[in-house]
Each structure stands twice: as C-alpha cells, then as structure tokens.
Amino acid sequence: MVFGVCKALQVTFLGTSSGVPTRARNVSAVALRLPQRAELWLFDCGEGTQHQFLRSDLRLSQLRRVFVSHMHGDHVFGLPGLLASLGLSGNSNGVDLYGPDPLESYLQGVLRTSSTRIGYPLKVHRVRDAAEQNLIVFEDKDILVRCTPLTHRVPAYAYRVEQKPKPGHFNLERAQSLGIPPGPVYAALKRGEQVSLDDGRVVDGRDFSGPDRPGASIVFCTDTVFSEAAVSLAKGADLLIHESTFAHSEAEMAYQKQHSTSTMAAQTAAEAGVGKLVLTHLSPRYAPGNPVTPNDLLREAQAIFSNTILAKDFLSFEVAPRCNSS
C-alpha cells in the first residue's frame, strides 16, 4: 500500500494490542524506517518487541531512536531486553530515547539490578517541557519531531514526525538559456544558493526552482481519551496512528480508563483533516469470534472518517505527502 511516489517513510506495526498480547497481536510498538538512510525509529516497545523484529524484515541493528508515549508496561516492558540484545550484538553506534520523566530511572534500575552492560552510547531525553511549551523534540537536516501531552491516567505524549520540504524541481532550460555553465554551479543552484559566475553575474538558486516539495508527516497517538491537543498536533498530517481501545458502545468505560473509542479516533482524524487514519491498540475483548470484533470498530470509525484502516501485526506500508500522491 503506497500513499505516493516520492521518497516515503515506511511504517511497520510490530504490536497492535492493548494491555496484554493475544495470539494474533503483540502489545504496542510501531517501527518507522527512514528513506535513503540505514536508520530505524521505534514508537513504544511493549514486551516481546524484539521477537517481533525477528519475525519481520526489519534490522534491529539499524535502531537509532525510540519514542515512548508513556510508562505503562504494555508500552515499555520490552525496552530493557531489546536494548540489552542490541548491546550483545555489538552492531549499534548509539540509541537516543525520548519519553516521560521516569523513563531514565526505569531503565537505569532494570539494567543495574540485572547487571546488564550497554556497550554503546545510550541517551535519554525528557519530552515534558517540549510537549508543554510546543518546542521541537528532535531535528536534523531532513526530519522534525514535535510532541504534545495527552489525557491519560499517567503522563502520556503523542509524537509528530515530519519530513522537511525539499527544493522544487530545477529549471534546467532557464539556466541554459541564461548561459550558465553546467557543473558544480548547477548543484549549488539546485540547493537554492547564490552563485557568483565567472562573468561577474550573481544568480540566485531560488529563481531556478519551482515550489518547495513538502515531506510526509506521521502522528503517533496513544494512550488517551479524545484530546484537542492531539487534534492540534495532527493537523494536516498524512497519516494518523491512533489508539482505538474500545468500541463506541463502551464509551463510558473509555472515559473511566482514559482511552479512546473507535469514534473518538475517527473524530480526531476528521477534525485534524488528516490523510489517513489507522486504528491500533485494540482491546483483546474484540478478538475475532467475540460478539464485537475489530471489523466492527473499523466500521464505526469509517462512518465518521471513511479513509480508515485497521492495523494488524506486521502490516507495513509507505507514507508520502498527499500533494504528491497518485
């Protein structure tokens, strides 16, 4: 399933159950593979996530960053074992972790009491201030990450990953018509730089490029009851991955436990104007064969936001910006 034809972000679901694993669904984990670099990011790491890696075509050795939504066990119990295995493989250049304040002390306690040595750089970043003050969580030349607080029983955060815009297509014909010699000068103009030519002219690369090409954007949102902050973070995103723990008929329980129903997830997608919604973090009570099934939750969501699909373990697809989609 491809949402476009440009260099896309690849999403792979490694766990789509809430609370406890089932025969068909492990607990929460979503992998993000970045284009044109051997780098993998992980959002949450429930128990057994490293086993899910082994069952997928993903390479754990490429893991570079882990973003943790909150400290409930079905989202973090797999992290110490995964990090330990990565250390034993000797293939890591380092991992950065992002999450709630207790994440660092949790990891330090588990690794220390189990006498586990991590033989690569491991750094933990607290995201609370960035979430509350609308600051950037992470940024490099290609990617920008922001987050926002959610509404749950413990501090929880949603994350938004955006590819930065790329320069528009280079107008080769215009450059040739102006007698600009090919070579390194063209490369500089393509980057939008000003260039001094041998004949004394100064040309601006921005005059030779079309409109910037926007990148893809993905929002990971779990666990929470319906949240206006999540709507704001997800505005215009190409893909929203949102928890759907309960069916609409159990909205009262969802409010009590501060989780979302299928219709809350769809309402978030609709108000945010996202391109596509994926439901995940489904309660085991909706296993096939029970009175209410995951397909029932899907139909409830599609009644509000039609472009909704249901996540399952090992579902994998690419996400590209909608304006470049076919």
pLDDT tens for each residue of the chain, 326 residues long? 333 345 789 999 999 999 999 999 999 999 999 988 889 999 999 999 999 999 999 999 999 999 999 999 999 999 999 999 999 988 899 999 999 999 999 999 999 999 999 999 999 999 999 999 999 999 999 999 999 999 999 999 999 999 998 877 788 888 888 888 888 888 888 877 898 998 889 998 888 887 878 899 999 999 999 999 999 999 999 999 999 999 999 999 999 999 999 999 999 999 999 999 999 999 999 988 899 999 999 999 999 999 999 999 999 999 989 754 43
- Last residue of some domain: 180, 208, 236? 208
Residues 33 and 178 in one domain: no
- Residue 210 · residue 244 · CB < 8 Å: no
Residues 43 and 55 in one domain: yes
Phi, psi dihedrals of residue 304, rounded to the nearest 5°: -105, -40
The CATH number of residue 249's host domain is 3.60.15.10
Query: Which residue has tokens 């103009």?
Result: 189
Residues 106 and 231 in one domain: yes
* pTM, entire model: 0.89
Distance between CA 310 and CA 241 in Å, rounded?
A: 10
Helix intervals (H) in 258-293: 262-272
Is the torsion defined by CA of 302, 292, 31, 136 positive or negative? Answer: positive
What domain range includes position 37?
9-166+212-324
Residue 315: C-alpha distances to residues 11, 13, 34, 318 (Å)? 8, 6, 17, 11
Residues 204 and 216 in one domain: no
The structural domain count of the chain equals 2
Residues 47 and 158 in one domain: yes
Residue 144: C-alpha distances to residues 42, 128, 138, 298, 316 (Å)? 15, 17, 6, 30, 22
Active site annotation includes 296: no
Give the model confidence (pLDDT) of 286-296 as tens digits.
988 899 999 99
Q: Which of 74, 223, 238, 313 is catalytic?
A: 74
Give the model confidence (pLDDT) of 206-233 as tens digits.
888 878 788 999 999 999 999 999 999 9
Assess if residue 49 is contained within a domain: yes
Residues 195 and 275 in one domain: no
Q: What is the CA radius of gyration of the chain?
A: 22
